[in-house]
């Protein structure tokens, strides 16, 4: 397998593709049956780090004989790259995290819709694009985390309730520039409406222990060390820290509890987001690309991929990683993830207006 880092490739010259004129295509199709042109291959642009995807691509190569070329980089850099390369992009598949980012790729016209009966059967409807531009590969929850020695789980209930005055000066959040919080707010717009969500953001801002800061890992550490009592973070960060030997990570694992938000009988369930994959608009290896995405939804790949990423599988009936299993069962919000992209701009405006830095 070929693996090149993004920086090298940013300087690479796009590979032009030979195009047959329509006349020639018709002539060829009518006059002869072509042998397979070349060995099959599929080119993947992945915002997931190499170690979190490559072993499964290797397994796919072994099983199918299809060569997989992997390019990894940051989600935003890879999306820009796909846009710059346009129809000359060598990429067939784009893998990234957060439905909001997958939506941006769709909006940027770098993906094409595709269908597969196998994929339709495996990926629940709310975990795929409404127009078939992308499909989820794994799920993560963005839920509430609390200091076990200062907060009783019975004091917690929903995201909405974090705006109550009992939490004044006790909450930490990361900045609104991050897509994770944008997607959470987008889901609340869908559930509660714009006005209620705007009021909620204002209430949440008035309860902060300090201005928005850091990433999810920093927030979990802040809860463990007494900077604040409650935060909102993605489950895989906590799952990763549970498995780490680092002393601070161990402190977090010991001091911080996971609380599943919005589990009431009539409530919608906890906010979920995903990693996912789409086929690029420029793909010339579409059949192999579909085959690879189907493989990533196989029992073997789902189990492995969820485990190394500390995430939940998207395919029903596949057990979560053992560390995540200790968080127990929970109800998930079944909002179509397409809505997270649709409501993104509204979410950003509401957060800006409420002073969520
Ligand atoms: Fe993350």
pLDDT per residue over 219-244, tens digit each? 999 999 999 999 999 999 999 999 99
Ligand 1 centroid distance, CA of 18 (Å): 39
Ligand 1 centroid distance, CA of 324 (Å): 16
Ligand 1 centroid distance, CA of 232 (Å): 13
CA distance 49 to 55: 11
The DSSP bridge partners found for residue 280 are: 111
Token output for 92: 């067939």
Q: Does residue 68 contact residue 61 with C-beta atoms inside 8 Å?
A: yes
- pLDDT for residue 158 is more than 60: yes
* Residue whose pair of structure tokens reads 């880092």 in the numeric block: 5
Token output for 267: 């409530």
Q: Does residue 17 contact residue 88 with C-beta atoms inside 8 Å?
A: yes
Ligand 1 centroid distance, CA of 217 (Å): 9
- pLDDT for residue 260 is more than 50: yes
Ligand 1 centroid distance, CA of 177 (Å): 13
Ligand 1 centroid distance, CA of 16 (Å): 34
pLDDT-derived band of residue 333, with 50, 70 and 90 as boundaries? very high
Distances 75 to 18, 80, 105, 186 between C-alpha atoms, Å: 29, 9, 10, 20
- Residue 39 is predicted with a pLDDT of 73
- Residue 152 is predicted with a pLDDT of 98
pTM of the model: 0.86
Mean pLDDT of 145-150: 98
CA distance 322 to 306: 10
Which DSSP symbol is given to 13?
P
Q: Which positions ≥6 away from 213 have C-beta within 8 Å?
A: 172, 174, 175
- Residue 3 is predicted with a pLDDT of 52
Ligand 1 centroid distance, CA of 310 (Å): 11
CA distance 200 to 194: 10
Mean pLDDT of 136-144: 97
- pLDDT for residue 203 is more than 60: yes
Token output for 69: 């070329």
Q: Which positions ≥6 away from 195 have C-beta within 8 Å?
A: none
- pLDDT more than 90, % of the chain: 88
- pLDDT for residue 28 is more than 90: no
Mean pLDDT of 47-63: 95
> In whole angstroms, how large is the CA radius of gyration of the chain?
22
pLDDT per residue over 84-106, tens digit each? 999 999 999 999 999 989 999 99
Q: Does residue 275 contact residue 309 with C-beta atoms inside 8 Å?
A: yes
Ligand 1 centroid distance, CA of 11 (Å): 27
- pLDDT for residue 114 is more than 60: yes
Q: What's the chain's average pLDDT?
A: 91
- Please tell me the total number of residues recorded for the chain in this structure: 357
- pLDDT for residue 15 is more than 50: no
Ligand 1 centroid distance, CA of 233 (Å): 9
Which DSSP symbol is given to 38?
S
Token output for 300: 């073997």
Relative orientation angle of helices 247-255 and 216-224, to the nearest 10 degrees: 70
* Residue whose pair of structure tokens reads 């002393």 in the numeric block: 247
pLDDT-derived band of residue 11, with 50, 70 and 90 as boundaries? very low
Which DSSP symbol is given to 17?
-
Ligand 1 centroid distance, CA of 137 (Å): 15
pLDDT per residue over 286-314, tens digit each? 999 999 999 999 999 999 999 999 999 99
Mean pLDDT of 115-144: 97
- Residue 19 is predicted with a pLDDT of 40
Ligand 1 centroid distance, CA of 298 (Å): 24
Q: Does residue 46 contact residue 70 with C-beta atoms inside 8 Å?
A: yes
Ligand 1 centroid distance, CA of 49 (Å): 11
- pLDDT for residue 26 is more than 70: no
CA distance 77 to 87: 17
Instruction: Give the phi and the psi of residue 236 in degrees, each rounded to 5.
Output: -70, -25
Distances 25 to 41, 141, 288 between C-alpha atoms, Å: 22, 48, 21
Token output for 99: 């439905």
CA distance 135 to 123: 7
Q: Does residue 255 contact residue 197 with C-beta atoms inside 8 Å?
A: no
- pLDDT for residue 20 is more than 70: no
Distances 136 to 99, 181, 204 between C-alpha atoms, Å: 8, 19, 30
Q: Does residue 172 contact residue 222 with C-beta atoms inside 8 Å?
A: yes
Mean pLDDT of 207-213: 98
Half-sphere exposure of 270 (CA within 13 A, CB side): 23
pLDDT per residue over 59-84, tens digit each? 999 999 999 999 999 999 999 999 99
Ligand 1 centroid distance, CA of 114 (Å): 27
The DSSP bridge partners found for residue 142 are: 234
């Amino acid at each position: 397998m070929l693996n090149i880092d993004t920086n090298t490739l940013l300087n690479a010259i796009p590979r032009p593709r030979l195009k047959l004129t329509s006349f020639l295509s018709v002539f060829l199709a009518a006059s002869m049956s072509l042998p397979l042109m070349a060995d099959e291959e599929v080119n993947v642009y992945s915002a997931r780090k190499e170690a979190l995807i490559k072993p499964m691509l290797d397994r796919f190569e072994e099983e199918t004989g299809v060569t997989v070329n992997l390019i990894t980089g940051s989600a935003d850099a890879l999306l820009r790259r796909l846009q710059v390369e346009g129809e000359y992009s060598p990429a067939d598949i784009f893998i990234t995290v957060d439905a909001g980012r997958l939506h941006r790729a769709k909006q940027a016209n770098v993906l094409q819709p595709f269908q597969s009966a196998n994929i339709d059967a495996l990926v629940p409807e709310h975990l795929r694009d409404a127009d078939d531009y992308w499909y989820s590969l794994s799920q993560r929850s963005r839920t509430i985390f609390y200091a076990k020695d200062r907060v009783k789980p019975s004091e917690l209930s929903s995201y909405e309730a974090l705006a109550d005055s009992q939490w004044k000066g006790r909450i930490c959040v990361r900045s609104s520039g991050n897509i994770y919080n944008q997607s959470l707010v987008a889901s609340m717009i869908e559930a509660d409406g714009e006005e209620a969500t705007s009021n909620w953001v204002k209430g949440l801002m008035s309860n902060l222990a300090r201005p928005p800061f850091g990433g999810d890992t920093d927030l979990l550490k802040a809860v463990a060390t007494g900077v604040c009592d409650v935060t909102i973070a993605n489950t895989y960060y906590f799952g990763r820290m549970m498995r780490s030997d680092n002393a601070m990570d161990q402190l977090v694992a010991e001091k911080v509890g996971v609380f599943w938000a919005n589990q009431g009988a009539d409530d919608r369930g906890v906010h979920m987001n995903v990693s996912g994959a789409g086929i690029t608009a420029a793909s010339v290896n579409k059949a192999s690309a579909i085959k690879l995405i189907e493989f990533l939804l196989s029992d073997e790949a789902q189990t492995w991929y969820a485990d190394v990423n500390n995430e939940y599988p998207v395919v029903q009936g596949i057990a979560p990683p053992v560390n995540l299993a200790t968080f127990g069962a929970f109800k998930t919000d079944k909002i179509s993830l397409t809505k997270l992209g649709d409501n993104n701009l509204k979410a950003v405006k509401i957060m800006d207006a409420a002073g969520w830095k």
